Amino acid sequence: MTGAGVRIEGLCFRYPGADRPVLDQLSLSVEPGSRVAVLGPNGSGKTTLMLHLNGLLEPQAGTVTVGDLAVVGPNLAAIRRRVGLVFQDPDDQLFMATVHDDVAFGPANLGVAPDERDALVHQALRAVGAEGLGARSPHHLSGGEKRRVALATVLAMQPHLLVLDEPTSGLDPVGRRELADLLTSIECTQLLVTHDLPFALATCPRAVVLDHGRIVADGATADLLDDAELLAAHRLELPFGYGRIR
C-alpha cells in the first residue's frame, strides 16, 4: 500500500479571539506514498494544520482532501480510518491497562472480529519492534517504548496517511535513529511535523516551511536546509556544529 495523496487548497483557520488567522490561504499537495516534513517556528500553524487532516478541526475556508475524500462531516468516519495521527506526547494515546489493549482499541471500535483484531495488534507491534510489550502496562514503559506503542496504535488501523507531531520529542540519539529507520520502512504517505531538522533530512526527501499560516518554501529537504537565509528568516536552525548540508 502506497497510501493516499493529500490536497489542501486555500485553507483558512482562526481560533476564537485570535487577532490573526493561524492558517491563511494555505495550499499544499502531497503525492501518495511520499514522506514530507513540515517545518516552521513555534506558532506557525503546524499542529493546527495536522488537526485538519482528520477533521479534529474544521476549515473556516478552503478544502482538505485525503485520497478521494473531502475532510467534511459526512466523510469523517472514513477519513479517521484513513488518517492516523501520532501526537507529540504518547501519553495522550495510551490509556488502557495493557499495551495490547491500547493497540487493539481502534480496530475494536471499528467492529473488527477478535481473531483479526489480535492479528492486527501483533502485526503493528512487530512493525515497531515492540512484540514483547503486549502484556505490559503502557504507563511503565520508557519514553522510546511509549512512542513505539503510540505509533503501533495508529498502524493497527492500517492508515493510508500517517501524520506525526514532533515525533522525536524526548528521544535520545539512539531512539531518534531507530525511529527514523522505522518510519522509512513504513509504506504509506507520511507528514512529519518537526523542529528536528536533521531528523527531517534523514526521513523526508521533501520538506515545506510553514510560517504565519502559509507555505513559504517547498523543495528537496537538503536544499532547504542548506539555505541559511531561509532558515534564519523563519527561526529555523541546524544544531550547533552541524555544518552545511552540502
Given a cut of 70, whether residue 34 has pLDDT beyond it is: yes
- What pLDDT sits at residue 110? 82
Burial class (CB in 10 A: 0-12, 13-18, 19+), 59: buried
- What pLDDT sits at residue 245? 61
- What pLDDT sits at residue 229? 95
Work out the percent of the chain whose per-residue pLDDT is above 70: 96
The maximal CA–CA distance of the chain, rounded, in angstroms, is 55
Mean pLDDT of 21-30: 96
Q: CA nearest 54: which of 6, 18, 102? A: 6
d(CA 119, CA 41): 40
Q: Which of 53-67, 158-172, 203-217, 232-246 has the lowest mean pLDDT?
A: 232-246
Partners of residue 190 on adjacent β-strands: 35, 162
d(CA 7, CA 65): 5
pTM: 0.90
Which residues touch 83 (CB under 8 Å, ≥6 apart)?
A: 53, 54, 66, 159, 160, 161, 163
- What pLDDT sits at residue 172? 83
Q: CA nearest 120: which of 141, 136, 137, 134? A: 134
Hey, what's the cell of 130? 515492540
Q: Which amino acid is at 226?
A: D
Given a cut of 60, whether residue 47 has pLDDT beyond it is: yes
Phi, psi (deg, nearest 5) at residue 184? -70, -10
Q: Band of the pLDDT at 240, cuts 50, 70, 90?
A: low
**Secondary structure (3-state) at 9:** strand
- For the chain, domains (ranges, CATH) are 6-88+161-233 (3.40.50.300)
Question: What Cα–Cα distance (Å) separates residue 84 from each residue in 99, 133, 192?
Answer: 18, 21, 12
pLDDT in tens, 99-132: 999 999 989 888 889 899 999 999 999 888 888 8
pLDDT in tens, 125-165: 988 888 889 999 998 998 888 888 999 999 999 899 999 99
pLDDT in tens, 60-92: 999 999 999 999 989 998 998 899 999 888 888
Which residues touch 95 (CB under 8 Å, ≥6 apart)?
A: 102, 138
- What pLDDT sits at residue 2? 66
- What pLDDT sits at residue 56? 93
The answer to whether 66 touches 82, Cβ cutoff 8 Å, is: yes
- What pLDDT sits at residue 241? 61
Reported in sequence order, the residue ranges of 201-245 that DSSP labels E, i.e. its strands, are 206-211, 214-220
Partners of residue 163 on adjacent β-strands: 85, 191
